[in-house]
Amino acid sequence: MTEEEVNPAGLEKSEEVASDREAGKIESKKYVYSFKEGKKEMKQLLGGKGANLAEMTSLGLPIPPGFTISTEACQKYYDNDEALPKNIQEEVENKLKELEEDTGKKLGDNENPLLVSVRSGAAKSMPGMMDTVLNLGLNDESVEGLAKQTGNDRFAWDSYRRFIQMFGDVVIGINNEHFEKVLDNIKEEKGVEQDTELETEDLKKIVERYKDLFKKETEELFPNDPKEQLSMSIDAVFGSWNNSRAIKYRNLNSIKGLIGTAVNVQMMVFGNMGKDSGTGVAFTRNPSTGEKKMYGEFLIDAQGEDVVAGIRTPEKIDDLKEKMPEIHSQLSDIKENLEKNYKDMQDLEFTIEKGKLYILQTRDGKRTANAAVKIAADMVEEGLVKKKEALLRVDPNSLNQLLHKQLSQEEKETRDSIAKGLPASPGAAKGKVVFDSDEAADRAHEGEDVILVRKETSPEDIEGMHAAKGILTSRGGMTSHAAVVARGMGKCCIAGCSDLNISENEKVVEVNGKVINKGDILTLDGGTGEVYEGEIEMVEPDLRGNFAKIMEWSDEFRDLGIMTNADTPEDAKKAINFGAEGIGLCRTEHMFFEESRIKAVREMILSETKDARKKALDKILPMQKEDFAGIFRAMYEKPITIRLLDPPLHEFLPKEDEDIQNLAKELGVEPQDIKKKISDLYEFNPMLGHRGCRLAISYPEITEMQSKAIFEAAADIKSEGGNVKPEVMVPLVGNVKEFENQKKIIDDVAKTVQNEKGIEINYKIGTMIEVPRGALTADKIAKKAEFFSFGTNDLTQMTLGISRDDAGFLQNYDELGIYDKPFQSLDQEGVGELMKIAIRKGKEENKNLKVGICGEHGGDPSTIEFCYNEGLNYVSCSPFRVPVARLAAAQANVKKENNGL
Amino acid sequence: MTEEEVNPAGLEKSEEVASDREAGKIESKKYVYSFKEGKKEMKQLLGGKGANLAEMTSLGLPIPPGFTISTEACQKYYDNDEALPKNIQEEVENKLKELEEDTGKKLGDNENPLLVSVRSGAAKSMPGMMDTVLNLGLNDESVEGLAKQTGNDRFAWDSYRRFIQMFGDVVIGINNEHFEKVLDNIKEEKGVEQDTELETEDLKKIVERYKDLFKKETEELFPNDPKEQLSMSIDAVFGSWNNSRAIKYRNLNSIKGLIGTAVNVQMMVFGNMGKDSGTGVAFTRNPSTGEKKMYGEFLIDAQGEDVVAGIRTPEKIDDLKEKMPEIHSQLSDIKENLEKNYKDMQDLEFTIEKGKLYILQTRDGKRTANAAVKIAADMVEEGLVKKKEALLRVDPNSLNQLLHKQLSQEEKETRDSIAKGLPASPGAAKGKVVFDSDEAADRAHEGEDVILVRKETSPEDIEGMHAAKGILTSRGGMTSHAAVVARGMGKCCIAGCSDLNISENEKVVEVNGKVINKGDILTLDGGTGEVYEGEIEMVEPDLRGNFAKIMEWSDEFRDLGIMTNADTPEDAKKAINFGAEGIGLCRTEHMFFEESRIKAVREMILSETKDARKKALDKILPMQKEDFAGIFRAMYEKPITIRLLDPPLHEFLPKEDEDIQNLAKELGVEPQDIKKKISDLYEFNPMLGHRGCRLAISYPEITEMQSKAIFEAAADIKSEGGNVKPEVMVPLVGNVKEFENQKKIIDDVAKTVQNEKGIEINYKIGTMIEVPRGALTADKIAKKAEFFSFGTNDLTQMTLGISRDDAGFLQNYDELGIYDKPFQSLDQEGVGELMKIAIRKGKEENKNLKVGICGEHGGDPSTIEFCYNEGLNYVSCSPFRVPVARLAAAQANVKKENNGL
């Protein structure tokens, strides 16, 4: 286990180094590192790709030689008005000389030319977001050298024309369509259809026309000097760090704190040099199931892009055993070597050039939740990692996948699939077919379930993929863009389903004679790759085996309590099943909405006197008492935090005219009276209105009734021989006097009930901290309250001054990187600061104060880590987030321990 | 000048003493003080009444002897389960013995009985809220003694029956009606109507029946033992400290931090013992005009209550000169003596018993603003106080009265108001009733005086409100739109006048049966909330003389800058006239509402593309530029803080169907499109929605246009030879990235304009701190911003989580003492805490950071003191609050200086 891997915070450390250097504290003039000089721990400086290439070089693996221009150079590039400073240019030239010496080849040489790739590589993976240039070094002289060297004229000229096209597109920004047009014209002139039908002479003609195109577009000649090509390409890659696509990607993926990308310059190797060549990708274990068996795909006589792009359908890696047994065995050894070194499952890219294996990249492999859990458990069994380390290998958020439903096996057996593709990412999904990412996003926003159907996906589809329930593509393999991204999202995906005949323009797909239109319903089984027409029932997941093991280890290492938000005995049971230790938030308002009691609730609201209100409340009391008794029974002796009525009263009144008429009839009042009440209760900003304890202070009889229901139910359970520890939570307290007002009512009722029943009840009274003022005056409140529970939903709304219901503009904010989804993951800088103030002030006044969180953030891993580090006693989250929280809490412990070392 | 008077914070000091004692740090067993032992500085311990009686005793004035049981004893009373502890009871008995020795009388004696009064008296005056017992010491024996002593049987028995009645009512809680019934019965039996017609024998009969009543109600005999009477009465007075009436009074009057009331036991003297007796009240100067001349009233042969109760019409104090010249001359001497000692105008109560003068009470006299200003100025002239001390004698809030037109007091007294609402904005106004803002503007334009009568107002009414002389609404509280805007404009406004039954369509209002039609004349008194039919004469304010003197002295002593909130050149000029040093808040949205440009604004809002928006904004640009130029000219070189557009866009769209139709016609679009836009822009919580810089981040072209208008206007003024220092303020910043986003736009425009015009403009860019997160991350924002201005209106709403528009429940909160009018006076405990955090963090990062406040709190004296103490550079308030702020700021300086001594 390396420091960097265990500690994502290593990032900040590296940043510090960088800024120390800037400040002149560390004298360092080195910006370019040979692969022989680096190691995997230098990710911040060399980028992920560069650091891993260096690591593998030092492990003695067959890596094409090269060097990395560091992320600090990227910073200098931007400091220097988007140009690489002289001193770094010189360093690059020196490293290039070294590379020429090491390879015995020479850039631009007409005998034995060195060709290089120029690729981006930041500390965090941003696939496809930045620029890449291949075959660099080709010019009118070296193309001859390449021809001689390879004995293949056509290959050399094809490489040359590809290089000009890529350089023109990527480095200069010439529209790629212009190049394609040239290509098409030549094919037309020659009367052929496929690129492969073109001969050397045709390719030479294309090169000439490409150069003409280049001159026309740029008013400059295509640079014949390979060093100029290189320097322009390096600038282009650094420049691509801040293209709008990359910025948007970083903002959307919360990639923060990076200083730039590194640039890797590496000797080209070719997988497209004949039947003894090829290229492929391999996982050291199965990324879908976690099985300990090399998994991957390859193509003979092809370049790397061909595998990823999904144009040709690749072969399984097992087949390599037969076709190239030595290569397969070498790969197997490398697999073992890498896992031993990285202590994690790896995803590697390789190329075979004329029978020689090269590794071009390795990185921690993306995997399904199922695979992650199995790999983590297996690696502990294998003695490869310790339990604590294994826990860090599983992304808590991914566990969500395991908790969700699968297709009903029985129903599936009665149905025929209409097509079968690659099971690219497990799970099941059903929804309406859409062919367009924007439409997917729009419809999902309106609450519809959609299946995104595409020939293939590209980074531009990310948003639509996020929004869709499932993704279905007709092209590409298990490592295609769609597959990789969907697995990362834990989203059901079927890729390479070649039976589909998709017409994206006409919004229709033809499948083996069937026509599926936009809006028709499909069901996907991501575990098998099967596609079904219409809906299929879904069933609950299985939580035993490796999942249970990871959960058990999590509980072994975590200190933070994991509670759940549950309002019904059913939810409570589900959460206990998922490992919850109690209820951190039991909302009482849903009980008010139930058919059987809403009438009494409305009667209460329409009452003009306290007596009338009490009469209505008396009708609700026995029902509410039964609610609590049910939950108490479900939870046995586990603590239960019950929040008193929170929403504004107008939420309980009917809105439609018809409903108002009916209610009036039922209650024997005039519809006009109800309308007047609705108008009286209207609020401009209900979020900041008459609700929570404010309501209960206006109508203390509501708190009386609810307290009575709680304590009478508790007394009943105790008299049945059970035990129960209700914790009564007063909502929306911003001022200790509000709390005192409510506490007195609750205590008085508790006293009365205990006396009447002759039963002692062990209870606590505390409050939500969800109003900024509550946090700011936590010292005063903590003198009276026994516990705090941060209601971070409202606290975020009020602290940021942003209503969740009106936060359409936040999408723009996301893209601009202003806020990072503050309603999903705690805004630690702002809301977190307020929480720290409240915790400090609260604990100073009351050492025994119990502190938790019950906003939706309570199920978010990074928030959980924050909560643990700030000394909270527990987090409370929805039942489905409980396993996520258990693992995230354990990781928080392990990370803290590691940081402390 | 005594410490206590200059420093209201002395209160806390005294509290500390009390708690030190509790903690045993100071050993003190003394709870009862003879009048000879105290002095006026001991108000916290002895209550106001007790301390002043002691002070006057030590000055040698004729004070009936007595003693005070301290406020600390009150605390002990409550600590001891509402009973006076033994040791204090013993102290009382000792003091009583002393009193008997001093007076030569004896409690309960049948020859020369001592009668005492038992009165409450806290450190702050709470008139009528707590209990009082008079004539204590009378029983079956001492009534004879009193008869002998006074030679007046009837007087003695009448006193006795009064005592039983008062004791039964106040101490025991017997319903007073029972006693009145007995009295009525006897009168009926005797066939008389007046109490005075009863003879001694009748009174004796009443005493018997009172005793029977007492026994029947309490099952106890009336206590014949005067010591028991005394001890019960003391307990009752202490007990009345926490009766609900007293608690409510303290909450409503923001009386905080007191530990309890003191109890004064004092020898009774009688003003109703014949023609040589009497009673009265006197002010040492005229409390209405401030004239240096004793002012007051008296009644011959009467008790104190008779003067206050207003049953008999009292005579003017001047008449005493003739009737009792010696007493008058003695009173005059006492007046001089008291003013010299208290250094303030005094309000005193006296009784003349058989030709001998007694002073029963003195306290600082309440006075009108006019009187306060004159008295303060005169006392400096007289050498009685220094300027600094004189400033503390004037209540800053009262100055408001002096700045507005007032109704002629004489004419008012002859007229009855037809309705009464909330005095939302002071001043007086008369004019013709209109129900429509456009009509108000039209008629005003034609030179008519109009009163705008509306159910409630909205931003669309701004123009009409500007045009009207006064505003009258039937809904909304002191912080409703009408109230807030009217106060800002310094315009008379009565809000929430629920007696009005307004039919805006039919242009008629029904008030308590009266019908007022459009065009009828109403007169409003904004200081009292009274509405009159027809005209009442008005008098103009005079800002010269003493007022000018107080303002001048204020400026001499204050350090805090006083800016104003002004959106128009007219307001700006008015504020300068009142002494403002610049504009702290110039809102730009009112400019958008004006008739001439609202169309372009709406066109901008309805634009679907950036280009269309820009086109519409281009139309607004020259108008907005002219707005700024006008204000710049009005302010000369004074700083001007301009806030960029703040309200949500939907505020600018029409609401009524007719207006929508018209707009559609004007713009050549479908009404449906406008309705869709209105529905798209609908927000659940507009307070927390898409407004402020959020809007400007979505539509940067708005900021571009506004910046262009600002800088082009500034450049024009400079080229005219003027100078101008615009400070551009970005609203609603919660995140430094929002600020950076806007700052870049503003800086870019500034650069462009300066280059184009070849003129350098001295400008600043800063932000409102009005979102809690902005305060919490002030360190980050201060790195980029040149100034902060606390927008405490929104900051209070968000920190407390209370929408001003929906804060009806706050009235209940006021009564319960939960919040103390947080939208009028800064909630220092909560919002103040957040401000302190922001100030600390901001100044740590940016030493040159200018910090001010521009919420409505900026004109509130206690907020101003807070701002000064927290190191703010300035406060900004509406023009009419500027004089208030100047005085309050000076007082803050003086108080701090005094505290420092």
Q: What is the pLDDT of residues B110-161, one digit of tens each?
A: 999 999 999 999 999 887 788 899 999 999 999 999 999 889 999 999 999 9
For residues A642 and A694, is the Cβ–Cβ distance under 8 A?
no
User: CA of B459 to nearest chain A CA: how many angstroms apart?
Assistant: 14
DSSP state string for A4-23: HHH-TTHHHHHHHHHHHHHT
Q: Give me the mean pLDDT over the B84-98 stretch.
A: 96
Whether A698 and B738 lie within 8 Å, measured CB to CB: no
- Is the pLDDT assigned to residue B746 strictly greater than 50? yes
CA atoms within 13 A on the CB side of A76: 21
Q: Measured on CA atoms in the order B626, B628, B634, B636, is the torsion positive or negative?
A: negative
| Contact across the interface for A827 and B686, Cβ inside 8 Å | no
- Which residues of A form the catalytic set? 481, 854
**Is residue A133 within 8 Å of residue A166, measured between CB atoms?**
yes
Q: How many residues does chain A have?
A: 901
Closest chain A residue by Cα to residue B771: A801
Contact B690 A808 (CB under 8 A): yes
Q: For residue A694, which residues of chain B lie inside 8 Å, CB to CB?
A: 809, 813
Instruction: Mutation target for A interface from B457, B475, B684: give the one with most A CBs within 10 A.
Output: B684
Residues of B in contact with A686 (CB under 8 A): 684-685, 806
Name the token pair of B216.
């029947």
Q: Do A809 and B698 touch (CB under 8 A)?
A: yes
Helices (H), B151-193: 153-166, 176-190
CA atoms within 13 A on the CB side of B767: 32
Smallest CA–CA distance from B688 into chain A, residue: A802
* B366 and B286 Cβ atoms separated by less than 8 Å: no
CB nearest to A801's CB, from B771, B800, B837: B771
Helices A671-681 and A595-606: angle between axes, nearest 10 degrees: 80
Interface test with B, best of A702, A768, A771, A776 (most B CBs within 10 A): A776
Looking at the complex, report in whole angstroms how far the Cα of residue A49 sits from the nearest Cα belonging to chain B: 31
For residues B506 and B518, give the distance between their C-alpha atoms in angstroms, rounded to a whole number: 9
Residues from chain B that touch A809, judged by Cβ atoms under 8 A, are 690, 694, 697-698
Chain A contact set for B684 (CB, 8 A): 686-687, 803, 805-806
Of A689, A776, A831, which is closest to B830 when you measure between CB atoms?
A: A776
Taking each helix axis as running N to C, give the angle between helix A142-150 and helix A153-166, from 0 to 180 degrees, rounded to the nearest 10: 140
CB A363 within 8 A of CB A277: no
Distance from the Cα of A742 to chain B's closest Cα (Å) equals 12
Rounded Cα distance, B562 and B884, in Å: 10
Closest CA to B839 of B776, B793, B752: B776
Q: Examine the predicted complex and report whether its ipTM is higher than 0.90.
A: no
Q: Which pLDDT belongs to residue B367?
A: 87
Structure-token pair, residue B3? 């410490």
CB atoms within 10 A of CB A167: 25
Out of A684, A780, A798, whose CB is closest to B806? A684
Residue in A515, A491, A509 with CA at minimum distance from that of residue A428:
A491
> Which residue carries 């070294």 as its tokens?
A98
Put simply, the answer to whether B689 touches A806 (Cβ < 8 Å) is yes
Mean pLDDT by 10 residues, chain A (901 residues): 37 42 53 96 96 97 98 94 94 97 94 95 88 94 93 93 95 93 93 88 96 94 96 96 87 84 96 92 92 94 74 86 95 96 96 96 90 96 96 90 77 89 86 92 90 86 87 83 73 89 89 92 91 89 90 97 91 90 92 80 90 93 94 90 94 87 90 89 92 96 97 94 93 97 97 96 97 98 98 96 88 86 93 98 97 93 97 93 96 92 52
User: Are β-strands B295-300 and B278-283 bridged in parallel, bridged antiparallel, or unpaired?
Assistant: antiparallel
Inter-chain residue contact A805 with B683, CB threshold 8 Å: yes
**Residue B287: what pLDDT?**
86
Smallest CA–CA distance, residue B89 to chain A, in Å, is: 32
Q: Do B772 and A799 touch (CB under 8 A)?
A: yes
* pLDDT tens track for B477-526: 776 788 878 877 778 999 989 889 998 888 999 998 899 999 999 999 99
**pLDDT one-digit tens code per residue, B327-353:** 999 999 999 999 999 999 999 999 999
Interface test with A, best of B818, B819, B826, B840 (most A CBs within 10 A): B818
Q: Give A-chain residues touching B777 at CB under 8 angstroms.
A: 829-830, 833
User: Could you list the active site residues of B?
Assistant: 481, 854
Q: Do A738 and B818 touch (CB under 8 A)?
A: yes
Q: Is the model more confident about B243 or about A386?
A: A386
> Which of B282, B287, B342 is closest to B318 using CA atoms?
B282
Look-up: residue for tokens 């597109």? A169
The pLDDT score that the predictor gives to residue A539 is 76
Helix (H, G, I), strand (E, B) or coil at A495: strand
Do A697 and B812 lie within an 8 Å CB cutoff?
yes
What is the least distance, in Å, from the CA of B457 to any CA of chain A? 14
- Are the beta carbons of B798 and A798 separated by less than 8 Å? yes
CB B167 within 8 A of CB B229: yes
- Please give the full DSSP string across B214-226, using - where no structure is assigned: HHHHHSS-----H
What is the distance in angstroms between the Cα of A841 and the nearest Cα belonging to chain B?
Answer: 12
B669, B584 contact by CB (below 8 A)? no
Mean pLDDT taken over chain B: 91
Give the one of B732, B776, B803 whose C-beta lies nearest to A833's C-beta.
Answer: B776
Q: What confidence score (pLDDT) does residue A311 get?
A: 65
- pLDDT for the residue B50: 97
Percent of chain B whose predicted confidence (pLDDT) is above 70: 96
Name the residue among A684, A738, A829 with its Cβ closest to that of B805. Answer: A684
CB contact (8 A) between residue A772 and residue B777: no
| 3-class SS string, A462-486 | HHHHHHCCEEEECCCCCCCHHHHHH
* Chain B residues within an 8 Å CB radius of A685: 685-688, 803, 805-806
User: Cβ separation of A801 and B798 shorter than 8 Å?
Assistant: yes
Please list every residue in chain B whose beta carbon sits closer than 8 Å to the beta carbon of residue A676: none
- pTM, two decimals, is 0.83
- In chain B, residues with a C-beta closer than 8 Å to the C-beta of A250 are none
Q: pLDDT digit string (tens) for B1-48?
A: 333 333 333 334 444 444 444 444 444 579 999 999 999 999 999 999
CB contact under 8 A, A687 and B737: no
Contacts of A808 in chain B (CB under 8 A): 690
**pLDDT of B725 over the 50 cut:** yes
Distance, in angstroms, between A826 CA and closest chain B CA? 13
Nearest CA in chain A to B810: A694
d(CA A861, CA A558): 13
Q: What is the pLDDT of residue B60?
A: 96
Task: Tell me the one-letter amino acid at B635.
Answer: M
Whether residue A830 and residue B776 make contact (CB cut-off 8 A), yes or no, is yes
CA distance A685 to chain B (A): 4
